[in-house]
Structure 1
Amino acid sequence: MYKLVLADDDAEIRSGLSQYFPWAQLGFELVKTFRNGAEAWNYLQEHEADALLCDISMPVMGGLELARRLYEQESGITVVLLSGYAEFDYAREALAYDVKRYLVKPTGYEELCSEFSRLRLELDRSREKQTAGRAEALPAYSQQVTDILKAYVQKHYRTASLEEASRLVHMNPDYVSKFFKQHTGENFSDYVVRVRMIRAAELLRDIRYKTFEISEMVGYSYSKNFTRSFRKFYGMSPREYRNGQQPGDPVR
């Protein structure tokens, strides 16, 4: 979820965009709204944000001045300007501050959705490139990501999913799948199954639990699916395992 800040001196616009626009569905969290650019500027000096939606004409500090300051600061925040004016001079000055997004009021619902959908894709690609670049340049970073993913599965094996793991390391699920395979030699889904099976084997050694209870404890709603996975992993059924030899190595 990308963090978005809104600055507009129109109270109705602030209220409408903060209460009724579906930011979350577009991948954004509207973290704060402000009446002018000065308030937004002060906030952004102490808080992180990925994008800023602001009006050009505001009291105290307008959107162009705010964009200029952020540009000179090299903040990396993507600025989307709103204005009731369509003069070329405004757009030209905005381009000087690396502002490539300029919406003219009144902005329609569909236009705003379209603009921020495109922005979300751009931010995703930028984040993936940065992450991939760091991973290639820093082996220690790659190991850290791998360790985080493994630790997540070992702690949340019952409900572990590729999507949740991806959010944890701020990567695209497809990229995480390839990354995990590349750095561990094992598919992410296979690792989840392995962790579940080894945990199931530990629970089977405890006679307090029945097989169907263990099935649910390791993430299987149907005991038949659990039995099938267990047999495939250990070469025997849970009952045979409980009554006989108990193999299994710790997860690394």
Structure 2
Amino acid sequence: MSSYMKLVIADDEPNIRDSLSQLFPWEELGIQVVFLAANGREVLDYMEMNPVDLLLADIRMPVMDGLELTQAVRQAYPEVPVILLSAFADFEYARTALRFGVSAYLTKPVNYGELMKTFRAVTHSAIAPESAPAPAPETAGDGQPVSYKGYYNEIVTRIQVYVRDNVDTASLIGAAELTGLSASYVSTIFHRCLNQTFSDFLNQTRMEKAMQLLKEGRSVSDTAWMVGYNNPRNFSRVFKQYHGVDPCPAKR
């Protein structure tokens, strides 16, 4: 790992920090995530004691935000590229960030392609002569970068676990918040990997859980509530559509 470029990720939202560090294939770019921070102050404290090659930070953070962090890093560690994330496609933010010397400015929810393209460019410029061409990503038969499929599968697996563990409250918005991606992007990835929509998977998971609960002796109303239905009548209708029988006979 010693030859890997060392990356610090800073964001005050734990879900986004975790998603960025765990779901993106950093090692394929020769990058190792060495520290996760909740604000700019934590980043600087870490950098005082440890070598860092790259920094990915949100603009809006408590204690010390991304712009303040960028200023401090530019003064103390001018060789370290800074990539900023923002939930706002705001021209003034972008202009200020560029004035402070950031290497890139990305808006949330950032997608795989943007992140891959940005870090390929930043790492290439950091370690290779300007005249050398950046390496092209390996592609699969469908023309997509090979690493996309592993990335998508990681996201989908995480969402499936989330749905099964939260069958009564799971939602597309919740899955988006969990992964730090937009709801539409999550929906697209889910369908691409499973050939099934998120709502169909959620319904399938709920109906299979409901059958299990009914066979364990739960009442129809309790089962409905436990799989996310406030109205037992609506639950019974969906259950029959899925299983072909009413919930009451299914208990036997």
TM-score w.r.t. length of structure 2: 0.56
Map of 1:54 onto structure 2: 68
For residues 113-132 of structure 1, what are the structure 2 equivalents within 5 Å?
122-124=106-108, 126-130=110-114
Q: 2:74 touches 2:100 (CA, 8 Å); kept in 1? A: no
Q: 1:157 touches 1:192 (CA, 8 Å); kept in 2? A: yes
Bigger RCO (CA 8 Å, 6+ sep): 2
| Cα distance change of structure 1 residues 74 and 189 upon mapping to structure 2, 3 Å threshold | same
Return the alpha-carbon distance in structure 2 between the equivalents of residues 127 and 44 of structure 1: 27
Return the alpha-carbon distance in structure 2 between the equivalents of residues 78 and 131 of structure 1: 10
Map of 1:104 onto structure 2: none
Map of 1:41 onto structure 2: 44
> What stretches of structure 1 of length at least 5 have no aligned partner?
5-29, 56-62, 80-90, 101-118, 244-252
- Of residues 184, 193, 214 in structure 2, which corresponds to 1:204? 214
Deviation at 1:98, TM superposition (A): 3.8
Return the alpha-carbon distance in structure 2 between the equivalents of residues 96 and 206 of structure 1: 62
Q: 1:215 touches 1:221 (CA, 8 Å); kept in 2? A: yes
Map of 1:23 onto structure 2: none
SS in 2 for 1:73: coil
| Cα distance change of structure 1 residues 70 and 176 upon mapping to structure 2, 3 Å threshold | farther
| Cα distance change of structure 1 residues 65 and 215 upon mapping to structure 2, 3 Å threshold | closer
Deviation at 1:32, TM superposition (A): 4.5
Map of 1:172 onto structure 2: 182
| Cα distance change of structure 1 residues 188 and 132 upon mapping to structure 2, 3 Å threshold | farther
For residues 81-100 of structure 1, what are the structure 2 equivalents within 5 Å?
95=99, 97-98=101-102
The two structures, once aligned, show a CA RMSD in angstroms of 3.7
For residues 23-38 of structure 1, what are the structure 2 equivalents within 5 Å?
31-32=38-39
Map of 1:76 onto structure 2: 83
- CA deviations on 1:128-166 (whole Å, 9 max, x unpaired) are 534687984312222222211111111111110111111
Q: 1:166 touches 1:176 (CA, 8 Å); kept in 2? A: yes
| Cα distance change of structure 1 residues 178 and 96 upon mapping to structure 2, 3 Å threshold | closer
SS in 2 for 1:194: helix
Map of 1:153 onto structure 2: 163
Deviation at 1:69, TM superposition (A): 4.7
Identity %: 21
- CA deviations on 1:183-223 (whole Å, 9 max, x unpaired) are 1011101111101101111111122x211011111111110
Return the alpha-carbon distance in structure 1 between the equivalents of residues 40 and 76 of structure 2: 18
SS in 1 for 2:108: helix
220-229 vs 133-142, which deviates more? 133-142
Return the alpha-carbon distance in structure 2 between the equivalents of residues 33 and 64 of structure 1: 11
Name the amino acid aligned to 1:164. G
| Cα distance change of structure 1 residues 227 and 204 upon mapping to structure 2, 3 Å threshold | same
Q: 1:68 touches 1:97 (CA, 8 Å); kept in 2? A: no
TM-score w.r.t. length of structure 1: 0.56
> What stretches of structure 2 of length at least 5 have no aligned partner?
1-9, 13-36, 60-65, 87-94, 118-136, 138-143
- CA deviations on 1:18-71 (whole Å, 9 max, x unpaired) are xxxxxxxxxxxx95576xxxx97345567973232339xxxxxxx756435555
Return the alpha-carbon distance in structure 1 between the equivalents of residues 247 and 85 of structure 2: 55
- CA deviations on 1:4-30 (whole Å, 9 max, x unpaired) are 7xxxxxxxxxxxxxxxxxxxxxxxxx9
Deviation beyond 3 Å, 4+ runs, structure 1: 30-34, 39-49, 63-66, 68-71, 125-137
